[in-house]
Chains A and B, each alone.
Chain A
């Protein structure tokens, strides 16, 4: 057998091996694909984007996995966590969002609930230490958020725009804090930040009922 023939045989053997190995994973791949789509929807939701149509489509397409038991315990708890993220961003004044909220509750009844976390309670500490811990937690969460966004979008202005949308849509006050921090950073580097400051002040007024200057 020539070198060319040997390599062609090796190529076809490897292709066949990979194809069979992936086929054996096909059913797991279907549920993983579904989970991945829901994860994308949750990420979009956290950025303050409109996700109702995608979520409704996901629910209708994935219902079969719930009914035939292909979503097992671990997947169901992950779906539950993603639903919790999505639900926090649904606008309950909107009838369509209310309907989706109800459907999520139906999924929860069917077992899609986040895993319970073991919470170890420490003795009460001085308030200043609590505040410092909270600040450190903010910095940690903000670092993770910005690092993740850097991978996806790359530009600080785009990230700031998304943070402001999230600050507007979400309950979590971290986004307001992060927006303020990004704006201050950019201001010190000579960027024109007036429109962003105005957006942040409007959001603060709406969410925190504040009128004071940043």
Chain B
């Protein structure tokens, strides 16, 4: 059987392909151990986290702007 961490990494990449960043982030977290060992995956996982933080910040700024 394929280890669950590998399956989670694959699902994270598919989620990124579909631009579903929140789902990708969850799968990367499930595959923590594998991500820590692979530089490419680590960069993608960290870029996803930064992007989600940026999106949160943008949402807040836009809400402030609207009010």
Cα distance A43–B2 in the bound complex, in angstroms = 10
Task: Check B54 against A11 for contact (C-beta < 8 Å).
Answer: yes
Whether A29 pairs with B1 at a CB distance below 8 angstroms is no
Which of A14, A29, A39, A151 neighbours the largest number of chain B CB atoms within 10 Å of its CB?
A14
Task: Specify which chain A residues have a CB less than 8 angstroms from the CB of B62 in the assembled complex.
Answer: 4
Q: Across the interface, do B57 and A85 meet the contact criterion of CB distance under 8 Å?
A: no
Which residues in chain B, 1-43, are within 8 Å of chain A measured between CB atoms?
Answer: 1-2, 4, 7, 10, 13-14, 16-17, 19, 21, 40, 43
Q: A38-56: contact bitstring with B at CB < 8 Å (1 yes, 0 no)?
A: 0100110000000000000
B10 contacts A18, C-beta separation under 8 Å: no
Q: A11-B58, A18-B21, A82-B1 are in contact. List 4 more A-B contacts (CB 8 A).
A: A4-B65, A22-B44, A78-B2, A85-B1
Q: Given A11-B54, A14-B54, A17-B47, decide whether A22 and B61 contact each other with a Cβ distance below 8 A.
A: no
Interface string of A1-39 (1 = CB under 8 A from B): 001100110110011011101100110010011011001
Residue tally, chain A, CB below 8 Å to B = 28
Chain A, residue nearest B18 (CB): A22
Interface of chain B, main secondary structure: helix
B contact residues around A10 at 8 Å (CB): 54
B19 touches A15 (CB 8 A): yes
Chain A residues whose C-beta falls within 8 Å of the C-beta of B61 in the assembled complex? 3-4, 7
Chain A nearest CB from B4 CB (Å) reads: 7
Contact of B10 among A7, A15, A32, A78 (CB under 8 A): A32
Are B58 and A18 interface neighbours, CB within 8 A? no
- What's the least CB distance linking B57 to chain A, in Å? 6
Q: Which of B44, B51, B55, B65 has the most CB of A within 10 A?
A: B51
Evaluate contact between A35 and B51: CB separation under 8 angstroms: no
Which of B4, B13, B50, B57 is close to A29, meaning CB atoms less than 8 Å apart?
Answer: B13
Given A29-B13, A33-B14, A78-B2, A14–B47 Cβ distance below 8 Å? yes
CB <8 Å contact, A7 and B57:
yes
A7 touches which of B7, B19, B58, B65 (Cβ 8 Å): B58
Cα A39 to Cα B8 in complex, Å, equals: 13
From the candidates A8, A18, A85, name the one contacting B48 in the complex (CB within 8 A). Answer: A18
